[in-house]
Chains A and B, each alone.
Chain A
Amino acid sequence: MIWAAIVIAIAQVAVFVVLAPLVVGVMRQVRARLEGRAGPGVWQPWRDVRKLLRKNPVRAQGSSGMLRAGPVAVLVSSLLLCVLLPLVGTIPFDLIPSDLFVIVSVMLIGVVALALVGLDSGTAFGGMGSSRHMTVAALVEPTLLLSVYALSIPAGSSTLSLIVQARLDTPEIIISPVSVLAIVALAIAIMAETGRLPVDNPGTHLELTMLHEAMLIEASGRDLAWLELGSWLKLAALLGLVANLVVPWGVVTDFGAFALLLGTVTIAAKVLVLAVLLTVGEVFLAKVRLFQVPELLAGSFALAFLAVTASYLVA
């Protein structure tokens, strides 16, 4: 069982490291085509990362080791997410279950590291991005925990692998009202956490409108490469989680070579489809004002709370 878990973990990391820039490339390409442009091609983010690794980073005097260590921590946190989440398969590690608090805490390592990198930049831009990013993270955490809690009640366990397994075994719970409410709340929380519209515009050049990009302003070269790759991996992994919660078929439950291949292909397809849907939706959205974001997040929290209490009182 432990070997199966290790192979699946390696497969998940390998697939998502290749897939994450591709997902971002597909999103940019779809957006370009919808806007009437030709677009740079789906492999452009890969070219960006390759070029960044060939540049000599510039670091300001007086900056501490955070500018060097922080990006690595962000990338490690995203890679751990890829290892622990049930993406290709639901066979968990016995000693580190993909329990909801563990997953959220691992994600928060990356959030904290990024915020500290932003603060260490020594400029107002970095501090501003860091402050907004942490405020959104603080307000998103209740929704994240409560929506996974709501999903855990029909499955009888808060381990994400077992939740996905339960949804495979009894598909009726996927369309139950409780599950729909919880997935919607989770989706809004994930969009806020990964910095997508309407919370944050990843393509903005105006520093005063930035949440996530403002923290990256000071990073260059390989530091920037780790930060970008880390945030793309987080987006891809969380999209994979939502995809597996809504459409769990294809996930590896009994280990085997063919099952592994099927699992890899299906998760890649699911994530890419979800990414295209996300982009098409984003084209019609504008970024909301920063001080209206808490209202949006409070709404998603209300949905998640409703889901939890409903599942207790109904079931």
Chain B
Amino acid sequence: MTVLGAGLILQLALAAAAVIIAFTAAPALRARATGIPVTLLALAGIVTGAAAMSGATGGIRLPLALPTDPLILAPDPLGGLFMVIVSAVGVLVTTFGIGSATGPASSRTAWAALPVFLVGMQLVPAATDSVSFLLAWEVMTLGSTVLLMADHASRASVASAGIWYSAMSQLSFFLVLAGFAVLAAATGGTSFATLATVEPGSGAANLAFLLFLLGFGGKAELVPFHVWVPRVLPEAPSHVSAAMSGAMVKIGVYGALLVCVRLLPEAPPWWGILIMILGGASALYGILQASVSSDLKVLLAYSTTENMGLVFLGLGASVLLRSSDAAAAADAALIAALLLAVSHAVFKTTLFLGAGAISHATDERNLDNLGGLGVRMPWTAFSFGVASLGAASIPITSGFVAEWMLLQSLIHGGRLNGEVVSVAASVAMPLAVAVIALTAGLALLTFVKAYGIAFLARPRSSAAALAREVPPLMRVSLVLGALAVLALGLVPGPVAAVVAATFGPQTALAAAPVGLNGVALPGIDAVLDPTMLLVLSALVALPILIVIAVSARRHPARHSALPWGGGGSRARPRMQYTATSYAEPLVRVFDDVLKPSRDVQVTHVGESRYLVERVTVQQKVSDVIETRLYRPLLNVVQRYGVLARHAANGSIHRYLTYSFVAFLILLIVVSL
């Protein structure tokens, strides 16, 4: 029995035990009683994944008799890395969920679905053939759908979210299934090793690539399949949205990496360009929608679209550069994409858990009603703040190193030894840099808005004024997440080396540690040591702090009752800038893309048109892709559905006619 085999069996056993405990434990103990085996399940996932990354081999065979290649779960180093990522997210999420899940989110079904969801996510990267991959995928989808629907009895929007989520996840499942089917038909087997023998450049390879890109892209929240994201993630319980956004979308990324690195490694340039276009569009659209959103969870949900867009942008750049033989830059772009995914898993989980903590303390999701939480919830403020810095790619966080690496690979990717790599690269690289720069700037605005409006200034509602810090267990997961964001940012060298090694010995040379755990990219002559930057800042800050210490004693501060707002006597906290007002310049600048709808209603006093009693202003920014693309399509489908109802109207005579005609056609076809 190998280590990997034991680990996989342990995970399945713990999942089964957790499901049984969820159904049998007393309600008061259910959360903790189920939470413990689920946390152990996640920890087992981390250990198994780490073992796979360090080169251990082995696995288990699923005892299902199907007319395909044998169903073997045996994670390779890349699968091991993703197993570690989703398991780590699982640990944070479960620890938080034990404290935060109350009411319907703590029901038997909800707690039974959590281990199902987590074990599905942890086993997808372990699959070595398409059937076990799809089985684990569906287990993951089933678990997440049940978890999402936890609150459906009390809110109608949850039911609608459930429908959208099921439809979109089944759509991506069918696309992935179709992709595997095309490859299986072309190569005659279902295991990944067999599927990889498809002839590069053939019609089957191209078709399969397109299907895979759309299927995995949909799971990874890319445009135009992102429409489920702003509906679903806010409606799920907080720890579930954290798991979905932090871990589940990584499975989509894993699928895309599987396709690009293992199944179809020989890629023509247009594949890379297509991935880059999809990624770039998602990044821009996602962050634009996030920056104008006032609902904290919708903001975080759209921000995931942006980050996944950047991951796919890096992946596409890697595919494009490799097809033009710029191997060093291609490797760097691939490692950058993976680092982006890893850092996103950490900071997005922390952000969603922080939003969950805010929701737990104030029952509010709308940023316009929050404020002043920094002094009332210091631990949450710290964790959310550090994670926001990571999301905005500010130095010494993990997001900064990943984005730096991506930019380096793109800037150096256009030229190889002074020669232009290809015309496509010459246009794609500058465009990609421009897209990354714009999304980075907008991400900065988005997270300054999210943190500043929620945690700084004064409370804008009584709910925010009465907020208190969350219970200790929730604090632990929040702070762990924040520390992980900082840790990954301060030791990028070893992390990048480990990540590079998962792709194989050739890519392992692309990133190396240097200096104080800094990272060096030898192939493209780039070096960065964030710890040195921290040391430098400390040295620079020292004289300032000395001056402050001296000055604070000689010129002590005085506390005044009011902030300076013009001296008016009717100033109130409600007059502060809100999230909607913060984003208003952006809505104006980008109103062609966002197409906000504005409604102004003026109620006059009685008969006089000169006196105004009330003015109501409503501004709504809805998802343009949903209104312009999905609604018309759904309307068309609905109309055909109504027409089709005439064909199946319940009349037995009509059905007998159909059977008779079908039988006739069958006889004719058989006799030909």
Binds A, one of B137-145, B319-327, B542-550, B657-665: B542-550
Given contacts A83-B536, A130-B452, contact A108 B581 (CB under 8 A): no
Find out whether the CB atom of B529 lies under 8 angstroms from the CB atom of A53: no
Question: Does A102 lie at the interface of the complex (its beta carbon under 8 Å from any beta carbon of B)?
Answer: yes
Bound Cα distance A144, B440 (Å): 12
Q: Which of A57, A83, A105, A152 has the most CB of B within 10 A?
A: A105
- State A64–B392 Cα separation when bound (angstroms): 22
A111 within 8 A of partner (CB): yes
Docked CA distance A158–B409 (Å):
11
In the complex, residue of chain A having the shortest beta-carbon distance to the beta carbon of B393: A105
B395 partner, pick from A83, A105, A138, beta carbons under 8 A? A105
For residue A64, which residue of chain B has the nearest CB?
A: B374
Residues in A with CB closer than 8 Å to B400 are 105
A126 within 8 A of partner (CB): yes
Interface string of B440-457 (1 = CB under 8 A from A): 111011001101110111
Stretch at the interface among A30-38, A117-125, A239-247: A117-125
CB <8 Å contact, B588 and A291: yes
Chain B nearest CB, measured from A254 CB (Å): 22
Known contacts A64-B374, A137-B445; A290/B561 CB under 8 A: no
- Interface flag for B606 (CB, 8 Å): no
Q: Given the known A-B contacts A60-B559, A135-B445, are A222 and B585 also in contact in the complex, defined by CB atoms under 8 Å?
A: no
Nearest chain A CB to B390's CB is how many angstroms away?
12
Confirm or deny: B475 has a beta carbon within 8 angstroms of a beta carbon on chain A. Answer: no
Q: Which residues of A in the span 55-81 have a Cβ within 8 Å of any Cβ on B?
A: 55-64, 66, 72, 75-76, 79-80
With A131-B584, A135-B585 in contact, do A93 and B414 touch (Cβ < 8 Å)? no
Taking residues whose C-beta sits less than 8 angstroms from the other chain, chain A's interface range is: 35 or more
The smallest beta-carbon distance between A50 and chain B, in angstroms, is 12
Q: Does B516 sit within 8 A of A, measured CB to CB?
A: yes
Count class of interface residues, chain B: 35 or more
Give B557's nearest chain A residue, CB to CB: A57
> Are A137 and B441 in contact, CB atoms less than 8 angstroms apart?
yes
> Chain A, 82-116, contact with B by CB distance < 8 Å: what is the 0/1 string?
01000000000111110111100110110110011
Report B495 CB to chain A, min CB distance, Å: 17
Q: Across the interface, name the chain A residue whose C-beta is closest to B577.
A: A127
Are A95 and B420 closer than 8 Å at their CB atoms?
no
Residue interface mask B551-591, A partner, CB < 8 A = 1: 10001111111111110000101011110011111101100
Task: Please tell me if the beta carbons of B564 and A217 are within 8 angstroms of each other in the complex.
Answer: yes
Further 19 A-B residue pairs, CB within 8 A, beyond A58-B557, A116-B452, A222-B548: A59-B557, A60-B559, A61-B561, A62-B375, A94-B515, A95-B528, A95-B529, A97-B528, A99-B404, A101-B407, A112-B394, A116-B456, A122-B573, A142-B434, A144-B437, A145-B434, A146-B433, A156-B418, A290-B585
Chain A residues proximal to chain B, CB less than 8 Å: 13, 53-64, 66, 72, 75-76, 79-80, 83, 93-97, 99-102, 105-106, 108-109, 111-112, 115-116, 119-128, 130-132, 134-135, 137-142, 144-146, 149, 152-153, 156-158, 207, 217-218, 221-222, 226, 290-291, 294, 301, 305, 308-309, 312-313
